Amino acid sequence: MAIVIAKEPEPFRTNFSSGGYARARLIAAALYAASVVALLVAGVNVWRALDDRQETAAMRESVARVQQQSARFRADLRALGFSADDPRAVSDFTKQVADLNDILEYKTFSWTTLLNDLEAAVPRNVSISSIRPEIKGRVIALQGVALTLQDLAKLMIALEQSGRFTDVFLQQQKTAENNWVEFSIQCTYRLAG
């Protein structure tokens, strides 16, 4: 006879550290991370869209302002007897404005300041006989005589070191009959300020 020993059924046991469960957790974490990244990207796109709207509104305001200025400019040109649609009239008007600006620049040019700056830079044994400014480009042409070549070199160095004259260039130099050195210098004059 056989003896049967009855055992109670074993309870259901599972190993949650098995490969399938670990993969499921990894996939869920990756999906959560992808969702967060997608939300961040969407947020950045919304922020950029709002910023683009503000920039577009600012550009529209600028365009409107330019159109208003253009309309005023055209009206001013018509009031002065120019046709705003004629390119020659506009270029003539531009030339007249440039000429007026040149006149204003000539009137505001300070000869006293220029002469004071020159006086401070000209060494002994050098005499300036001619000063010809070209106000628009701030270019000054100087002519004069120096006792020796060394005195002429001192003048050029002093002009450069003054800080008020730049690009000092000796255009011409020759020794006269009395052994004096006649010269012509061109330089750029910088206003103080």
What are 113-168's pLDDT values in tens digits?
A: 888 889 999 998 999 999 988 866 678 899 999 999 999 999 999 999 988 898 99
Query: Would you write out the chain's pLDDT as a tens digit for each of its 193 residues?
Result: 556 566 676 666 655 555 566 677 778 888 899 999 999 999 988 898 888 888 888 888 888 898 898 888 878 777 777 666 667 766 777 787 777 777 777 666 677 888 888 999 999 899 999 998 886 667 889 999 999 999 999 999 999 998 889 899 999 999 888 889 999 999 988 876 5
Do residues 153 and 159 touch, judged by C-beta distance below 8 A?
A: no
What residues have CB less than 8 Å from 44, skipping those under 6 apart?
A: none
CB atoms within 10 A of CB 16: 8
What is the C-alpha separation between 68 and 169, in angstroms, rounded?
48
Do residues 156 and 185 touch, judged by C-beta distance below 8 A?
A: yes
pLDDT of 183 reads: 94
What residues have CB less than 8 Å from 156, skipping those under 6 apart?
A: 168, 170, 185
What is the C-alpha separation between 51 and 49, in angstroms, rounded?
5
Q: Tell whether the torsion through CA atoms of 59, 62, 66 and 68 is positive or negative.
A: positive
pLDDT of 55 reads: 86
Query: Which residue matches tokens 């002009």?
Result: 159
pLDDT of 53 reads: 86
Q: How many residues in total does the chain contain?
A: 193
What is the C-alpha separation between 20 and 54, in angstroms, rounded?
51
What is the C-alpha separation between 141 and 135, in angstroms, rounded?
11
**What kind of fold does domain 109-189 have according to CATH?**
Alpha-Beta Plaits (3.30.70)
Domain edges within the chain = 21-82, 109-189
List, edge to edge, every strand of the sheet that includes 165-175: 126-134, 139-146, 181-189, 165-175
pLDDT of 74 reads: 79
Query: The tokens of 149 are what?
Result: 């070549």
pLDDT of 19 reads: 58
pLDDT of 17 reads: 56
Chain centroid, CA 31 distance in Å = 49
Query: Which residue matches tokens 């009959």?
Result: 177
CB atoms within 10 A of CB 71: 11
